[in-house]
Amino acid sequence: MSRPIPAGPVLTRRGLLAAGGLLVTVALAPRAFADAGGEGGAGPAVLRPELPGSLKSTPGLAAWIHIDAAGRATVFSGKAELGQGIRGALLQVVAEALDMPPPAITLVSADTGRVPDEGLTAGSHSMQDGGTALLIAGANVRMLLMREAARQLALPEAGVETTGRGVVAAKDGRVLGYGPLAAALSLEVEAVANPPLRAPASYRSMGRDIPRPDIPAKLTGGEAFVQDLRLPGMLHARLVRGPSYGTSLTAPDMAAARAAPGVAGVVERGGFRAVVADTEWQAITAMRLAQRSASRRDLGPLPAGQGPDVLRAMPSRRINVEGLPGASSRGGPRRLVSNYSRPWLSHGSIGPSCAVALLKDGALTLWSHSQGVFDMQRATAELVGLPPERVRVIHTPSAGCYGQNGADDVTAEAGLIAMAFPGRPVRLQWMREQEFGWEPCGCGMTTRLEASLDAAGHIASWKHEVWSNAHNNRATDASGYLAAHELDPALAWPEQKPIPMPEGDGDRNANPLYAFANMEVRYRFVPEPVLRASALRSLGGHLNVFSIESMLDELAALAGTDPLAFRLAHMDDPRARDVMIAATDRFGWARRPRGNGRRGCGMGFARYKNLGAYCAVAMEVEVTPETGAVSVLRVEAAVDAGQPASPDGIRNQVEGGIVQSLSWALREAVTFDSEKRTSFDWGSYPILRFADVPGSVSVHVLARPGQPFLGAGETAQGPASAALANAIADATGLRLRHMPFTPARVKSALGPLYPG
Amino acid sequence: MTVSLTVNGTAHDIASPPDTPLLYVLRDELGLNAAKYGCGLGQCGACTVHLDGRAIFSCVTPLAAAAGRRVTTLEGLGGPDSMNPLQQAFLDEQAAQCGYCIAGMIMRAQALLDVTPHPDEATIRAHMQPNLCRCGTHMRILRAIRRAARPAGATRADALPAAPGPRTASATASAAPAHTAPASDHPAAATPCAATEAGLPVCALDMRQLDAGEEL
Amino acid sequence: MSPTARPGPSRRRSRMLLAAGTALGLAVGAALALALVLRPAIAPITPPGRDAFAPDLVRRGAGLAALGDCAVCHTAPGGAALAGGRALPTPFGTLYSDNITPDPATGIGTWSEAAFARALREGVDREGRHLYPALPYEHFTHVTDADVSALYAFLMTRRPVRAPAPENELIFPLNFRPLLAGWKLMFLHEGGIAPDPARSAAWNRGAYLVQGLGHCGGCHSPRNLAGAEEGGAPFAGGSAEGWDAPPLDASNPGAARWSEAALTAYLSTGAAPGHGAAAGPMGPVTHGLSQVPPEDVAAIATYIAWSLSGGQGGATPPRAAATAPAPAARAAAAARAEPEGATLFAGACAGCHGAGAPMAGQGRPDLSQMTDLAAPGPANTLRAILGGIEPPVDGRGPKMPGFADSFTDPQVAALTRYLRARYSADAPWPDLAPAIRTAREELSR
């Protein structure tokens, strides 16, 4: 089954559509509307469960790879570049699989008109699912090319080899290019699960540090982001909204906005309001005119002054993650109970969300930085009242999102606005304060851990309880968008649902990878949302890992054991042990400076979701008791992501994850009063700046030749925050269990009697 | 009525109203991409450009304030084939994740290097304080600035500040064999992952990284 | 031990007047005060150690030290807390604050409580040398014995830091300390504050803290030629670090809008709804107060609210409509009078301070409520425009960029004239150019 590319503008200079002659066949699989990829999107149906990665849903090779007569390859991926460098990594994978030079490959990604539906780009699945699909699809194509070459040269298949230069060579020196070979065969075949793979020892692309292809434009002012898209006749739109989600303006002055200079029109559909103007500044000016209004709260009051512990007092549903109720009641004589929490967090993308929409000839094209262009296509179609095949969503990069920020909403809203301006592209840009006020936050969470030690200082029982709202509320139909609740009639929000294990959401990583006796893990899922929330990098994994790894240090102290030795004594997984040893060896753990009241060291470990990459982080900090300031002096991390496709890409992600996690733990909390969020700018939502980032961060990528890819983009979030708390405790004896550890809190917690 | 504005050495007659923030003049009237809308409040630095050689927030600088003065944007430093030393250093360090803040970062740092070619680490960090990065690329950005700030002919030891705390990593990393796989056939390919250290498989660091300082 | 000087960053103007004051004090009082000049040393003690002090006393001392802002002056940038060495440039040279950690060699480790009390209340160090009035002993003289004990307990239980204070670099004759005895004879009124039984406990507590350790008058009271606070006009407004410290009496343009609750919020966080944010030297003050027991902050608010309501005099400003939002007519007139300023405001400021901007929806004040724009002088407005505002507590709060690098002097002047015309009913400030130059110079230090 195939479908034509919907009518839509073609940005030839961006190379969004390749030159003619390219046969694009995208299998339009029936929708499963089931959780795919563990991140809650609707996702495509599984057609070939025996195939690896995303080939399960899209088994046909032609959907993934096309080789033209000149021997250039075009590769189609459903995974999107979110700033995580996935384009470069995928290119390295497919170049290796095809055994071609990366520059001879064009990668087309996340365009509903052109690429296979791979669900969301989320949950550290891009390498595991998308990378694996390209690896196997590429190997299939290489196999077919070699087979064809052998046939043409009348040699046995073993008599030919690829060379890395896009040709098949025979031992006798004869050479056939991929172009002519591809022309002689059809890729309209399904992949096989086990094509011959190139041996890791002979890798030419994978495992090497190849510069990312998207960086030069970002260093020189090239057109790199959806914000940079400038289509002929494009209009600029701004929304007219109250200060934050759950509020509305009591008397927006749309008439004043309509009369403002340059205003092409206003859109008013129920409570959904936008101004549209010829230039951005005109749109902003008109928006401010319309926004001169008081606001009111339309929903119940927010729990002002209360932290995430408010969740414990709300109705919850108990989900048994591991162990029977009461399993942890057995155990050793020495028991410890600790509670941990983190507040609601903002994604804090540096660029507020933006989208461009164009309604032309009855078809809507959306340029979006959504993580889920396929869900977007279906749900926006429903919102604007078009059949899905008349909507095309083309992923276009923006500032890093780290989960569901305003990207999906702004795209749907741009679509709504564009429906009123047929033939005119409309660029909708959320303002900074709208991003802070309206985006879904990362969930506030709280945990209670109880454990006991036996006489030998070994963990004899372990109980972990976690309270959380749903972490994934991505739209799979129109009702998941903000705008659907402003329209008249408004839609009802879909029911909030937890993501089931093994991926989990609030309970993600709540089940320790360690081998503990008498283990019991409970998820208290709180269906009623406190703040509007959705996916933020690592979901519940951040607080759960923080809790487990903090608790381990507390128990190690109780047992009088070194924190590393204590962990190793409870860990059977050799790869987990390897990253712990690698990080701490490089850190100089055995010779580390011991807590002197100000300086101290700590570590943290996790395997993300117990399915993805392994990561261990060791950290040295200095605490200034007089001010409460915490300085991170140096960080050593080790990560096992399976076969690294792009080692530097992994280092970059883990470095960034560590710094971001430190920012969460040291500074961040979304504040609110009973009516609205009060974090609306970088003054009311401070994050780490240059003066506060670590003295050094070193990330060490373990080589795992030929091992399956393990997603690494989120694996550092929990371990880094835990290592921080453990290092502070080592330095000062002060155990901080509730983030953020701001200077005022640290100073207050240490108190004037602190002997440091 | 137009306002005359000199951007990257070229004079333009600008039709935008004089209260228009420079950011929108650069982006929407002159079609320049580098300066970015980040907050519109002068709090994040994504919009940083130079005005008479000083780093400023273009999102809160009205056109009227820039008229008759010298505006330089990232595009004015160098293009993809003519990167200036700082841009090249960012490329060499792969100092970007999403890259949205990077144009502002380069402009902020360039303003420092124009006045203080060899700043120390504390000076660099203090100077970069107005600019926010959310991806956590700070360590690479700092490396890139240090790389560009290195005196000509200087070795790494005399150009880079000592990392705080014990230095245990660099020796082992430097000792790791860099190439155990066949030389690459790919022009763009660099170092493979196949070394062994302390009984563990490790991914050897390429020379670019070794050259870069403490954040191995 | 180094020469002792405890200049506060918030007292630059007082030091600028110090020369005149000291000379005057010499002429009038030297002969009479000969006996006062020569003060005996107090015998050194063995540092008592941490265990010598009751934990509750130390805790109480911590709150008092935060209230008194000890660490603000006695900590060098990037230096160890309370170890001194903070440089204070003055027209007469540079003063350096002393190390008040209990280091025996370079701090106050060998000071007995009596020696500490004498320094605090009389401005004489353990060895008998006079201290410069940058240490506000004209306020600290009011501190009770119990609070001196608590402060002493707090300081003597800090981590000793070996850090000799740099030598002061003062011009002759100000480097001659005995001159200070004459100054004290005239301006130091020793003794405690008698409670007013007719008033509430909170008011009395507030009066004591404000006039004593809090030394609010150090900035918020005018000073005479001798650099001493004018006793007849307490809290009538002063200056600090180039900023004008607004009056805390009824003459404050925003006096009527300050409630006790708003003052409490402002003092402990640096911001309160409907009021401008703490800026300049008030930032560290609010940072200190964020660590003070809430009941003490509330007591200070009680007293200041009483003072603002006319409790200690001060003529209510004649402008009836000063607190009302600027009427549209004024906006239009201001734009006509200052078209360049209006344009600059629209492009640079309106994103936060204009109608319909996000700050408005968050309860942040309209500029017509900024006392700085209704102040007699432009100092604070210029400093905010040029240098911006940073949140004082945990980096969280009102944050404004500085425009020093984006605006020329004439542009700053045009914007400032426009702001004054639009948001206050007062007469225009005179020629702004010299004030802008001064503000830039101070900013670049």
Task: Please compute, for residue C418, the number of CA atoms within 13 A of its CA located in the half-sphere on the CB side.
Answer: 23
Residue A562 above 80 pLDDT? yes
In a domain, A738, yes or no: yes
Question: Across chain C, which distance is largest between two alpha carbons, in Å?
Answer: 72
The domain containing residue B70 runs over which residues? 3-153+178-209
Residue A711 falls inside a structural domain = yes
Residues from chain B contacting residue C344 (CB–CB below 8 Å): 19, 62, 64-65
Does residue C372 have a pLDDT over 60? yes
In a domain, A477, yes or no: no
Is the bond preceding A489 in cis, omega lying within 30 degrees of 0?
Answer: yes
Average pLDDT on A237-255 reads 96
Q: What is the pLDDT of residues C148-160, one digit of tens each?
A: 999 999 999 999 9
Determine whether the interchain pair C391/A683 forms a contact, defined as Cβ–Cβ distance below 8 Å. yes
For chain C, counts of helices (H) and of strands (E): 21, 5
Rounded to whole angstroms, the Cα distance separating C236 from B176 reads 71
pLDDT over 90 at A60, yes or no: yes
Residue labelled with tokens 């042990």: A577
Position C365 confidence tier, pLDDT thresholds 50, 70, 90? confident
Point out the residue among A287, A295, A744 whose CB comes nearest to the CB of C393: A744
Would you call A233 an interface residue with chain B, using a CB distance cutoff of 8 Å? Answer: no
Question: What tens digit of pLDDT does each residue of A292-310 get?
Answer: 999 999 999 999 989 999 9
The answer to the question of residue A659 being in a domain is: yes
The arithmetic mean of pLDDT across residues C229-233, rounded, is: 81
Which among B106, B182, B194 has the least Cβ separation from residue A705?
B194
A40-44, A362-366, B13-17, B143-147: range with lowest mean pLDDT:
A40-44
| Same domain as A625, residue A524 | yes
Please identify among residues 652-691 of chain A the ones whose CB lies closer than 8 Å to any CB of chain C.
Answer: 667, 676, 678, 680-686
d(CA C257, CA C254): 6
Residue A4 has pLDDT above 60, yes or no: no
Question: Residue C188 and residue C11: Cα distance in Å, rounded?
Answer: 16
Residue C392 C-alpha, separation from nearest chain A C-alpha, in angstroms? 11
Could you tell me if residue B117 is inside a domain? yes
Give chain C positions within 8 Å (CB) of A432: 358
Mutate to test the interface with B, among A165, A219, A594, A699 (most CBs of B within 10 A): A219
C437 inside 8 A of chain A by CB: no
Q: Is residue A243 located within the same domain as residue A140?
A: no
**Segment C400-409 mean pLDDT:** 97
Q: Would residue A155 count as lying in a domain?
A: yes
Q: Which residues contact A508 (CB under 8 A, 6 or more apart)?
A: A471, A499, A538, A539, A540, A541, A544, A609
Rg (CA), chain C: 23
Phi/psi region, residue A7 (left: phi>0; alpha: psi -120 to 50; beta: rest), is beta
The enclosing domain of A366 has a CATH number of 3.30.365.10
H helical segments located in A199-358: 215-220, 254-258, 280-290
The residue of chain C nearest to residue A756, with distances taken between CA atoms, is C159
Identify the CA nearest to A499 among candidates A463, A537, A540: A540
- Which residues constitute the domain of residue A545? 308-344+442-471+506-750
Return the pLDDT at A449. 98
> Which of B97, B106, B184 comes nearest A219 by C-beta?
B106
Asked if A532 and A552 sit in the same domain, the reply is yes
Cα A642 to Cα A578: distance, rounded to the nearest angstrom: 13
pLDDT reported for residue C22: 58
Collect all residues of chain C within an 8 Å Cβ-Cβ radius of residue B59. 351
Pairing of strands C93-96, C169-170: antiparallel
Q: Which of residues 5-64 of A touch C (CB under 8 A)?
A: none
Cβ–Cβ < 8 Å for C405, C382 = no
> Could you tell me the pLDDT band of residue C18, with boundaries at 50, 70 and 90?
low
Answer yes or no: do C406 and B51 touch at CB < 8 A. Answer: yes
ipTM above 0.90, yes or no: yes
pLDDT class of A24 with cuts at 50, 70, 90 = very low
Q: Report yes or no: A289 at the C interface, CB cutoff 8 Å.
A: yes
Q: Does residue B194 fall inside a structural domain?
A: yes
A87 confidence band (pLDDT: 50, 70, 90): very high
Count Cβ atoms below 10 Å from residue A297 Cβ, excluding itself.
17
Considering A210, A244, A263, which residue would you say is the last residue of a domain?
Answer: A210
Whether B173 is in a domain gets the answer no
Model confidence at A717, pLDDT cuts 50, 70, 90, reads very high
Same domain, A253 and A196: no
Return the pLDDT at C1.
35
Contact at CB, C361 and A242, closer than 8 angstroms:
yes
Domain count, chain A: 3
Judge whether A756 lies within some domain.
no
Which of A242, A437, A684 shows the shortest C-beta gap to C396?
A: A684
Which candidate from A95, A350, A705 shows the least CB-CB separation from B100?
A350
pLDDT > 70 in chain C, percent: 89
Asked if A292's CB is within 8 angstroms of C356's CB, the reply is: yes
Instruction: Assess if residue B27 is contained within a domain.
Output: yes
- Residues A339, A372 within the same domain: no
Query: Could you tell me which residue, C406 or C240, shows the higher pLDDT?
Result: C406
B34 touches B73 (CB < 8 A): yes
H or E segment to which residue B49 belongs: strand B48-51
Tokens for A619? 């950290």
Which amino acid, A384? V
Q: Give the tens place of pLDDT for each residue, A112-137.
A: 999 999 999 888 889 999 999 999 99
pLDDT per position as a tens digit, C44-91: 999 998 999 999 999 999 999 999 999 999 999 989 999 999 987 766
* Alpha carbon of A311: minimum distance to chain C alpha carbons (Å): 25
Residues in B closer than 8 angstroms to C340, CB to CB, are: 64
Tokens of A727: 């290092």
Contacts A400 to B, Cβ<8 Å: 97-98, 100, 134-135
Q: Do A78 and A196 fall into the same domain?
A: yes
A372/A260 same-domain check: yes
For residue C293, the distance in angstroms to the closest alpha carbon of chain A comes to 11
Same domain, A461 and A426: no
Tell whether B167 is covered by a domain.
no
Q: Does A755 reside within a domain?
A: no
Report the pLDDT value the prediction gives residue C25, as an integer from 0 to 100: 56
**Residues in chain A closer than 8 A to C157 (CB atoms):** 752-753
Assign residue B48 the CATH number of its domain: 3.10.20.30
**Backbone φ, ψ for residue A578 (5° rounding):** -60, -45
Contacting residues of C for B130, CB less than 8 Å apart: 401
- Asked if A282 is an interface residue toward chain C (Cβ–Cβ < 8 A), one would say no
Same structural domain, A323 and A429: no
Shared-domain flag, residues A415 and A531 = no
First-residue to last-residue Cα distance in chain B:
56
Task: Quote the minimal CA–CA distance from B135 to chain A in Å.
Answer: 5
* Residues in Cβ contact with C231 at an 8 Å cutoff, skipping those fewer than 6 apart: none
Residues with Cβ within 8 Å of C34's Cβ and at least 6 positions away in sequence, in order, are none
Segment A533-552 mean pLDDT = 98
Helix axes A373-384, A407-418, angle to 10 degrees: 40
Q: Do C401 and B20 touch (CB under 8 A)?
A: no
pLDDT at B197 > cutoff 90:
no
CB contact under 8 A, B186 and A102: yes
In a domain, B79, yes or no: yes
Last residue within a domain, chosen from A388, A413, A438? A438
User: Given a cut of 80, is residue B15 above it in pLDDT?
Assistant: yes
A110-120 burial, b at 16+ Cβ within 10 Å, e below that, comes to bbbbbbbbbbb
Beta carbons within 10 angstroms of residue C175's beta carbon: 15
Question: How high does pLDDT run on average in chain A?
Answer: 93
Q: Is residue A116 within 8 Å of A63, Cβ to Cβ?
A: yes
Are A593 and A694 in a shared domain? Answer: yes
pLDDT of residue B82 exceeding 70: yes
Question: What's the confidence (pLDDT) of residue C317?
Answer: 63
Interval B84-122: pLDDT, tens: 999 999 999 999 999 999 999 999 999 999 999 999 999
Q: Quick check: B209 pLDDT over 80?
A: no
A631 at interface of C, judged by CB pairs closer than 8 A: no
Domain for residue A2, yes or no?
no
pTM: 0.91
The pLDDT of A74-78, averaged and rounded, is 95
What whole-number distance in Å separates Cα of residue A24 and Cα of residue A314? 51
Which pLDDT belongs to residue A260? 97
Q: Which range (A327-336, A683-692, C431-440) has the least confidence?
A: A327-336
**Do both A248 and A322 map to the same domain?**
no
Give the per-residue pLDDT at B1. Answer: 72
Query: How many folded domains does chain B comprise?
Result: 1
- For residue B111, tell me if it sits in a domain: yes
C166 pLDDT exceeds 60? yes
Task: Report the distance separating Cα A382 and Cα A265, nearest Å.
Answer: 24
Examine residue B164 and state whether it is found in any structural domain, yes or no.
Answer: no
| pLDDT tens digits, A424-481 | 999 999 999 999 999 999 999 999 999 999 999 999 999 999 999 999 999 999 999 9
**What residue spans of chain B are helical by DSSP H?**
22-24, 63-66, 74-77, 85-92, 102-115, 121-128, 138-149, 156-159, 169-175, 207-210
